[in-house]
């Protein structure tokens, strides 16, 4: 006899409760051992251990460090992907930062993997899949944080990846082929407008830039006139970029925030090799590309002024995240059921940060839900997991319940059928991938 959706949701919640301590221990363990993108070997091993214990078949080393498990329903009418992110960000002053790399889970990604494990326990450790008319892909995805751009560029140059972001690589590798709907969640301290959770929100997109000024070295004390100061060129370029601010429309949410990653080699030598990394963010592609022209022009002006070379490498960043109303509705009801309607927002205000989940949202129905449970500003040294019941357990339950809604009565297939993509996979790889 086929159980009702409510019965299956109760079964999922009970399974997650029974594994509560294992889920919390996993989240805490990842928090204490942060790793940067495309290097998440310890975290990958922890995900594989969960899958091995549950006898979930999986592929590993997807996009270098990703893991994809598969659960089969009674029929394969549709396929839902549940995602979690493996990597950390750089916050070297965090109490749990890796001393060698500066990596820290100031991003909340450890919560996402804990929630993914919770979904795994709910679906693979029970009879729920026998009542669902579709399959589930459990995806632990690397490299969401767009950091160490020069390192990522070296991977691209070596042919190991094509994109900086892990979800982008999953698209390229075909891991998203056959997926009807993608759902995931992200944790924060303030993204949910004072509520405990929100069903979803949009975000900005961006392109990434590597800028290198090439000057001429000379003795800084005795013969600076013989050199070409690449640092001075960079400073002029940065000033010229800042002067562009008034040309950006407020409604486009343009943000340009460069850092100098190399300012020279020796204080007594005129700098001849200076390097900058930057994003150009915005809430729509047209505004991003318009700002990109201005920023490139400004950087080049610094080189021209000093007679230095200016080499600019542009890498595909992330597309703005587009919300999917039917998915928001489903997640909202599950969050309200679990946390109380007064504690949940259907949709939070737009996020001015970015995520490679935005790339998926252009191609397929995508849900990027929000849960609180953290304290401190994201990406800072103050981030802590202060409500593990909310950040780990409630998030897992809501994701599992949403899977049940999507695969119980054909909802996933209908949502996918009604969805109008902003790009096909081929368009995405050809148009955005070549930037």
Average pLDDT over residues 139-154: 95
176-210 pLDDT per residue, tens: 999 999 999 999 876 566 789 999 988 999 999 99
Average pLDDT over residues 238-256: 96
What is the C-alpha separation between 207 and 191, in angstroms, rounded?
23
What is the C-alpha separation between 202 and 109, in angstroms, rounded?
18
Full-model pTM: 0.93
Extract the tokens encoding 341.
């309607």
What is the C-alpha separation between 272 and 164, in angstroms, rounded?
28
Average pLDDT over residues 403-425: 97
For residues 137-168, one letter each, b for 16 or more C-beta atoms within 10 angstroms of the residue's C-beta and e for the rest, the string is bbbbbbbbbbbbbeebeebeeeeebbbbbbbb
The residues with which 282 forms a beta bridge, in sequence order, are 205
**Average pLDDT of the chain to the nearest whole number:** 95
Label residue 378 by pLDDT band (50, 70, 90). confident
> Nearest-5° angle of CA 181, CA 186, CA 190?
140
For residues 52-64, one letter each, b for 16 or more C-beta atoms within 10 angstroms of the residue's C-beta and e for the rest, the string is eebebebeeebbb
Please report the pLDDT score of residue 191 as a whole number: 57
Average pLDDT over residues 103-110: 95
User: Inter-axis angle of helices 325-339 and 395-408, to 10 degrees?
Assistant: 130
Average pLDDT over residues 65-89: 97
Label residue 435 by pLDDT band (50, 70, 90). low
């Amino acid at each position: 006899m086929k159980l009702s959706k409510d019965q299956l949701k109760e079964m999922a919640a009970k399974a997650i409760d029974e594994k509560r301590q294992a889920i919390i221990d996993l989240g805490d363990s990842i928090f204490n051992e942060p790793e940067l993108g495309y290097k998440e070997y310890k975290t990958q091993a922890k995900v594989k251990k969960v899958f091995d214990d549950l006898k979930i078949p999986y592929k590993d080393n997807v996009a270098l460090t990703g893991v994809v498990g598969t659960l089969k329903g009674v029929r394969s009418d549709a396929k839902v992907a549940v995602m979690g992110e493996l990597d950390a960000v750089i916050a070297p002053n965090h109490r749990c930062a890796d001393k060698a790399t500066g990596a820290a889970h100031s991003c909340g990604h450890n919560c996402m993997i804990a929630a993914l494990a919770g979904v795994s326990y709910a679906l693979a450790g029970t009879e729920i899949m026998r009542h669902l008319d579709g399959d589930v892909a459990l995806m632990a995805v690397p490299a969401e944080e767009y950091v160490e751009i020069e390192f990522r560029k070296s991977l691209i140059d070596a042919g190991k990846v094509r994109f900086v972001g892990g979800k982008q690589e999953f698209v390229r590798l075909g891991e998203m082929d056959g997926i009807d709907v993608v759902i995931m969640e992200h944790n924060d301290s303030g993204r949910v407008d004072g509520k405990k959770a929100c069903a979803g929100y949009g975000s900005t997109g961006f392109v990434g830039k590597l800028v290198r000024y090439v000057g001429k070295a000379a003795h800084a004390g005795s013969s600076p006139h013989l050199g070409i100061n690449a640092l001075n060129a960079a400073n002029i370029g940065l000033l010229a970029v800042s002067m562009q601010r008034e040309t950006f429309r407020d409604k486009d949410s343009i943000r340009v925030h460069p850092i100098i990653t190399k300012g020279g080699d020796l204080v007594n030598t005129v700098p001849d090799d200076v390097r900058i990394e930057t994003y150009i963010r915005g809430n729509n592609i047209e505004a991003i590309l318009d700002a990109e022209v201005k920023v490139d022009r400004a950087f080049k002006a610094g080189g021209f002024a000093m007679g230095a070379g200016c080499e600019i490498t542009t890498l595909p960043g992330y597309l703005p995240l587009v919300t999917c109303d039917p998915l928001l509705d489903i997640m909202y009801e599950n969050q309200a059921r679990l946390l109380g309607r007064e504690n949940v927002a259907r949709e939070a205000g737009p996020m001015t940060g970015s995520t490679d989940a935005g790339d998926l949202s252009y191609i397929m129905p995508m849900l990027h839900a929000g849960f609180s449970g953290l304290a401190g500003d994201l990406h800072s040294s103050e981030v802590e997991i202060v409500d593990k019941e909310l950040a780990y357990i409630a998030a897992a339950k809501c994701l599992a319940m949403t899977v049940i809604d999507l695969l119980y009565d054909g909802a996933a297939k209908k949502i996918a059928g009604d969805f109008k993509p902003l790009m096909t996979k081929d368009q995405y790889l050809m148009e955005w991938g070549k930037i």
